[in-house]
Structure 1
Amino acid sequence: LKTFRISYVYFKIVNSKMNKKFAIFYLLIVIPLLIFSQSNEVIDSIYLNALNAKNDSLKVIQLNDIVWETMFNEQGKALKIAKEALKIAKKSNNPYIISDSYNTLGAYYTIISDFYTSIKYHEKALSIRLKLKDKLAIMKSYNNLGSAKKEIGNHQEEIDYYFKALNITEELKDTISQTKIEMNIADALIRQQQFEEAEKYFIHALELLQILGDVNGQISCYIGLGNLHHNTGKFNRSIEYFIKVEKLVSSNTNNYILAKYHANYAALLKDISEENKAIKHIQESIKLNDKIGNTNSNLVNYINLAAIYESQKKTLLAKKTYLNALKIAMETGSKQWQKQAYLGIATTSYDLGDFKIAFDNYEKYAQLKDTLQGDEITTAIEELKTKYETQKKENEINLLQQSDLIKTTQIKTQKAQLYTKNILIISSIFVILVIVVSIYFILQKQKSKNELEKALAIKVTEETERLRIAKDIHDDLGSGLSKINFLSELIVKDKNLTNETTENVQSIAETSIKIVENMRDLIWILNPENTTLFGLVSRIREYSSDYLEDYPAELTFNFPNNVSETTISKESYREIFMTIKEALNNIVKHAKATIIEIQIELKNNAIEILIKDNGIGIVSNDSIKSNFLIGNGLKNMRYRIESIGGLFKLESNANIGTIIKILISLEKIKN
């Protein structure tokens, strides 16, 4: 306003003292220069104020605002200020303004078409915003990343980011942002040829925009629908949507959207052979973009306009338009569009016979191309080079080309032969390795099988021999001991024997009985069918019942109902059973008990045996200690259980009697 006021005063002075022509010149030329100068002065003033601000957060916000104002027209200044803002933000260690600075740099690099750098900064902003859980900022970062991924052709990641942003807008109930993102999703779906899904998102966004009364948004939506039907070849339907845009356009229409409308409508008109109308719309789009400083979009316009001129055989005009595009691309640093401009200049120069210019520009195009397409590009360069040099040394070049072709053919042939030879060698080595490895595994398998069969044969032989020994012991030794016992009892009944002889004979009888009992246990163990967990529990029950049958005490069993047939080692079977025998023997000899309880539990992959009596107990801890030291029955019981990896615990006093607890893991006693 200050600038307008000053200019108006100057204009009145000039108009009063000079002729009208000079006044009009002043109005058209001098005042705009004053406005532009004043605009730069305002930006410089804001910049100085920002640097002098005491609060770093406010300083960074103001600097980033300047970047947004200048990034379209003064990229050098914008980048310098953006980096300065980021430096201050990092120094402040404020994650909010750091993420905003990264976001601003991402936007800057999008404007100059350096999309990979743009993605890098947007990802940094997103990383911080995710930690802050700032959903609105996260949504914006997702949307920005989707737009950047679109420009590098990664359409799957583009649409993934858009959907993440859409979820947040629905969660925040941010309808305005939702419509923008739904239109972005629709555009992405068009690029993936999913036209029906794209139309659904456009229609839904349009319905929301109509409710909001957002005319500019509706225009954008109609443009998108027009492009959609343009892509599917439904040109009449596409025209209908662009006509709807024309009806909505007014003086309040956003110039950016209006420029977009003209550019997209021009693309449709070109495809339906309305090239002259297309040219008018592109020129209108260029004017609007120049007005708002949207230089990047004009790059596309100039390239498209030049292509139309080229198709109309207006080669010189096409070349000039490509040169305009190249100038803008060089100013904005957009290598992608520089490449397209170089290619256009090369093709038009070629058609005009300017082979040197054509060659130079095609070479620049090839250097900028991300991935050279081998022979196609090389051939094109060589062709242009040949056209240029034929004016001087056509025959010499032809000979050199023929020589190069022969050499290339020879090299290719040699490479092909070498490749085939290498393939044969590698294949042979591979086949040999497969055969050797297969033979090795077959031999190893056969060896393992033989060892297993040998082990099984030995085991079967051992079991057979054990059964034979058990049978022989039972038949021979058992019958002999029974006979000794019987004869001893007859002798004892003889009244003519002395007392000493009678005692000796009774001792023989008792010894033979014990040997028979031990022999019975040995035979039981030797039978492989009995060395199982079930066999052990059954034997304990059977032995306890027989042994305590005549003892004046109440015997109680608490055994599990279902005991598995898990095979256990002979050593484990013997040590556990002998410990039980020793415990029962001690009760009978010393305890004076009236109640005896034997309990067996199987839990947590272990066997727990409890033998309890209500007898007089062991007299004192000293006697327990002495028993273990002198190696009596208690010490033997502990040793037996610990030798097979079990735990042995003894509790005894006059009040509770004696309790023996045995705990053994089943894994340690399995055979």
Structure 2
Amino acid sequence: MVFVYLFFIPIVGMAQLQEKELLPRIQSCKTKECKLINAFKLAEHYLETDEIPLAQKWLDSCKIWSFENPEILNQSDIFSLQSELFYYFGLFQFGTTEAEKGIDFAMKEKDSASIADLYFFKGINLFEMRNYVASGKALKNAEKFYSSEIKTEHLRTFIKPEHIYNNLGQLKLQLKDWDSAYYYNEKAYRIAKIEKSGRALANCEQTFGLIKLGKQQKDSAVFYFHKSKQTALAFNYYDIATVNEGFLMKAFIPQKDSVLNHFRNGEILIENYPVNTLFKRYFFKEAASIFEVLEMEKQTIALQKKILQIEDSIRFQGNSLVQNISQQYLENEKELFNLQRNEFEKQKKVSLLQITTLLLITFLLIVMVLLFRRKNKVQKRLLQQKTEISNDLHDDIGSNLTSILIHAQMLEAQENLSVEQKKTASKISSTGAEIGQRLNTFIWTLNEAHDNLQDFLEYVKHYAAKTLEGMPIKLEYLENIKNASEIKISGQMRKNIFYCIKELIANALKHSESTNLSIKISLTEKRFLQILIQDNGKGFQKGKRLGNGLLNIEKRMQAHKGTFTYTSEKGFSATLLLPL
């Protein structure tokens, strides 16, 4: 069938740039994106100028470049242009297949503009294959998915609603459903008037004429054919004007003079203006059928010869073009297949590398787990040894030390001892008590059950109260820490802080001559443990160097990234500050 083919030629491919502008652009492109975009524009330009083989050549280049860089050009644009090119080559089955592949792709992308465009090409290819039912469904889907808002970036010039409606009208015309044909053509005509599209207006007016002719309303048909011819000539569409002369010949049967007049008008247009070969053939075939009906044998034979010459030319060119396009298409598909195969090989290598890497990582994780378990076993063994040492010190050395203290106290209580002997017994007792306290602290630091702040605070409080018991110094102990039992503190840190506090309490007892000693422990917002120890004694003498005890406090604080500061005004005040 010829109607859709004739009316569709100008619909897409409205490239604005000329070949002389596009080719230098491609040659000067430094990026693949630049080449791909301009090559696609050039393919549409050659489609517009009816140079279909060149259009296919540049589209093939686009396919190759786009395979390596799929993000640059929307793939539905390639499917759409290829489907249209197959339509013009007369390869309607190929055109249908390309449109269907494009529809599948556009559906996944939810690109309604592309879906409508591709359904349109599927519909006109099916129409030429005389599959009118499937063609109608495809064109209705084009109408359904059409959207004036194109959300995705495209280089393709998409079909418009008037194109869909005009071809639906042509389909209904072919099925002799005159009312439906008029309905769709009227919708297309209204839009064409708004858009001021000369070609669309001429097409729709011509379709109105065919509808009226089909309904045997010849006067109305003649009116629309004349109107279509005038519109076509006004916009320089000589092919439509020529075909209108053929339709006017049919409308004037059996008036031979009028028929011959319109035939001569058609010949004048063909002789003086550029008219596409396919339109010439259609005009001459229409004229020949009319001459045959009017039994004008001489004119019929002359036209049949012209038609044969045109068809031979078309057949030769068509066969050549079809062979070339088929060869180009097959070569392009082969190259695409090779690219896909190479890509698959790359992916296989990458997958193998990924599997090897995964196995290596798994092996390393297993080794790390084994090492971690081994380290845990060693730590557990060390903890057991620490616990055993702690228990041995408490049970063995502790009991022996207690025995020494008892004997020293008993010796000190005897009345028949000399002064020197009593001094010796007292010294043994005090030294034993100090060693016992140190031993108790050492055992306490080894026990991980006490590795929390709450146990540390209780130990300090107990020690301070016991040490100052019976002494002329009153103890004030304050602490303000919430959830102290949940705050972890290592045995090493507990030991060092405790010895610092012990040294400061001992200094207050020995040197301060104070009557009050306060210990205040708190936790700052930045989780720093702050310990403030103050007395109301005589303070630290000016100019006196720090003793070993205070120097040791500084070293113990530095070991845990803490600080030790003190002042000696109105008594002695020391601050220990360290992070937990």
Q: TM-score, normalised by structure 1?
A: 0.45
Q: Take 1:558 and 1:501, find their aligned partners in 2: how far apart are those partners? A: 45
Q: Take 1:455 and 1:419, find their aligned partners in 2: how far apart are those partners? A: 53
**2:521·2:531 contact (CA, 8 Å) conserved in 1?**
yes
Give the superposition deviation at 1:544: 2.6
Amino acid at match of 1:518: R
User: Which residue number corresponds to residue 532 of structure 1?
Assistant: 452
User: Which residue number corresponds to residue 580 of structure 1?
Assistant: 501
Amino acid at match of 2:379: K
Seq. identity, %: 17
Amino acid at match of 1:664: L
Give the superposition deviation at 1:589: 2.2
User: Which residue number corresponds to residue 448 of structure 1?
Assistant: 368
User: Which residue number corresponds to residue 316 of structure 2?
Assistant: 387
User: Which residue number corresponds to residue 345 of structure 1?
Assistant: 276
Amino acid at match of 2:504: A
Q: Take 1:575 and 1:322, find their aligned partners in 2: how far apart are those partners? A: 113
Name the CA shift for 1:414/1:322 in 2 (closer, same or farther; >3 Å).
same
Match of 1:461 among 381, 386, 407: 381
The yes-or-no answer on 1:602 pairing with 2:531 is no
The yes-or-no answer on 1:193 pairing with 2:146 is yes
**2:522·2:530 contact (CA, 8 Å) conserved in 1?**
yes
Match of 2:398 among 474, 478, 486: 478
**2:166·2:204 contact (CA, 8 Å) conserved in 1?**
yes
Give the superposition deviation at 1:405: 9.9
Give the superposition deviation at 1:322: 13
Matches within 5 A, 1:147-546: 193-194=146-147, 260=196, 266-270=202-206, 273-274=210-211, 280-282=226-228, 298=235, 345=276, 347-348=278-279, 387=316, 429=349, 432-546=352-466
SS in 1 for 2:428: helix
User: Which residue number corresponds to residue 550 of structure 2?
Assistant: 634
| Per-residue deviation, residues 359-378 of structure 1 (Å, max 9, x unmatched) | xxxxxxxxxxxxxxxxxxxx
Give the superposition deviation at 1:566: 4.2
Name the CA shift for 1:455/1:388 in 2 (closer, same or farther; >3 Å).
closer
SS in 2 for 1:557: strand
Amino acid at match of 2:196: K
The yes-or-no answer on 1:653 pairing with 2:569 is yes
Amino acid at match of 1:530: H
The yes-or-no answer on 1:616 pairing with 2:540 is no
SS in 1 for 2:449: coil
Unaligned runs of 5+ in 1: 1-112, 114-151, 160-188, 199-223, 246-255, 291-297, 327-343, 354-382, 391-396, 667-671
Name the CA shift for 1:260/1:231 in 2 (closer, same or farther; >3 Å).
same
**1:608·1:661 contact (CA, 8 Å) conserved in 2?**
no
Point out the structure with the larger helix share: 1
Unaligned runs of 5+ in 2: 1-44, 46-80, 82-109, 114-141, 151-159, 170-179, 212-220, 250-261, 285-311
SS in 1 for 2:470: coil
SS in 2 for 1:601: strand
SS in 2 for 1:664: strand
SS in 2 for 1:612: strand
User: Which residue number corresponds to residue 571 of structure 1?
Assistant: 492
Match of 2:560 among 640, 644, 663: 644
Name the CA shift for 1:270/1:352 in 2 (closer, same or farther; >3 Å).
closer
Out of 259-268 and 311-320, give the one that drifted further.
Answer: 311-320
| Per-residue deviation, residues 597-647 of structure 1 (Å, max 9, x unmatched) | 333333444223232324135344523xx11xxx42122111110121112
SS in 1 for 2:574: strand
Q: Take 1:512 and 1:664, find their aligned partners in 2: how far apart are those partners? A: 32
Matches within 5 A, 1:109-128: none
**1:618·1:658 contact (CA, 8 Å) conserved in 2?**
yes
SS in 2 for 1:622: coil
User: Which residue number corresponds to residue 578 of structure 2?
Assistant: 664
Name the CA shift for 1:475/1:306 in 2 (closer, same or farther; >3 Å).
farther
Q: Take 1:303 and 1:227, find their aligned partners in 2: how far apart are those partners? A: 18
Amino acid at match of 1:578: Y
Give the superposition deviation at 1:278: 5.5
Q: Take 2:440 and 2:429, find their aligned partners in 1: how far apart are those partners? A: 17
Q: Take 1:262 and 1:412, find their aligned partners in 2: how far apart are those partners? A: 38
SS in 2 for 1:512: helix
SS in 1 for 2:469: coil
SS in 1 for 2:450: coil
Q: Take 2:267 and 2:516, find their aligned partners in 1: how far apart are those partners? A: 116
Give the superposition deviation at 1:493: 1.4
Q: Take 2:316 and 2:186, find their aligned partners in 1: how far apart are those partners? A: 48
RMSD: 5.4
SS in 2 for 1:653: coil
| Per-residue deviation, residues 218-237 of structure 1 (Å, max 9, x unmatched) | xxxxxx99999879978777
**1:617·1:658 contact (CA, 8 Å) conserved in 2?**
yes
Q: Take 1:462 and 1:511, find their aligned partners in 2: how far apart are those partners? A: 31
Larger RCO, structures 1/2 (Cα 8 Å, 6+ apart): 2
**1:598·1:612 contact (CA, 8 Å) conserved in 2?**
yes
Out of 523-532 and 588-597, give the one that drifted further.
Answer: 588-597
Amino acid at match of 1:574: K
| Per-residue deviation, residues 531-573 of structure 1 (Å, max 9, x unmatched) | 2333323322332333333343141312313125344333222
User: Which residue number corresponds to residue 70 of structure 1?
Assistant: none
Amino acid at match of 1:474: H
Name the CA shift for 1:426/1:158 in 2 (closer, same or farther; >3 Å).
closer
**1:646·1:662 contact (CA, 8 Å) conserved in 2?**
yes
Q: Take 1:484 and 1:348, find their aligned partners in 2: how far apart are those partners? A: 129
Q: Take 2:542 and 2:552, find their aligned partners in 1: how far apart are those partners? A: 17
SS in 1 for 2:393: helix
**1:323·1:345 contact (CA, 8 Å) conserved in 2?**
no
Amino acid at match of 2:578: I
**1:318·1:348 contact (CA, 8 Å) conserved in 2?**
no
**2:189·2:201 contact (CA, 8 Å) conserved in 1?**
no
Q: Take 1:545 and 1:641, find their aligned partners in 2: how far apart are those partners? A: 24
| Per-residue deviation, residues 451-475 of structure 1 (Å, max 9, x unmatched) | 1100110111111111100000001
Name the CA shift for 1:350/1:225 in 2 (closer, same or farther; >3 Å).
closer
Amino acid at match of 1:439: L
Q: Take 1:589 and 1:306, find their aligned partners in 2: how far apart are those partners? A: 127
**2:514·2:538 contact (CA, 8 Å) conserved in 1?**
no
Name the CA shift for 1:308/1:485 in 2 (closer, same or farther; >3 Å).
farther
Name the CA shift for 1:283/1:536 in 2 (closer, same or farther; >3 Å).
farther
| Per-residue deviation, residues 301-347 of structure 1 (Å, max 9, x unmatched) | 667667877999999959958996x8xxxxxxxxxxxxxxxxx7364
Name the CA shift for 1:662/1:259 in 2 (closer, same or farther; >3 Å).
closer
Give the superposition deviation at 1:415: 7.4
Amino acid at match of 1:532: N
Amino acid at match of 1:482: T
Amino acid at match of 2:276: I
Give the superposition deviation at 1:580: 1.6
Amino acid at match of 1:502: K
Q: Take 1:310 and 1:580, find their aligned partners in 2: how far apart are those partners? A: 117
Q: Take 1:457 and 1:323, find their aligned partners in 2: how far apart are those partners? A: 103
Name the CA shift for 1:266/1:588 in 2 (closer, same or farther; >3 Å).
farther
Q: Take 1:532 and 1:514, find their aligned partners in 2: how far apart are those partners? A: 25
Q: TM-score, normalised by structure 2?
A: 0.51
User: Which residue number corresponds to residue 123 of structure 1?
Assistant: none
Amino acid at match of 1:557: L
Amino acid at match of 1:592: E
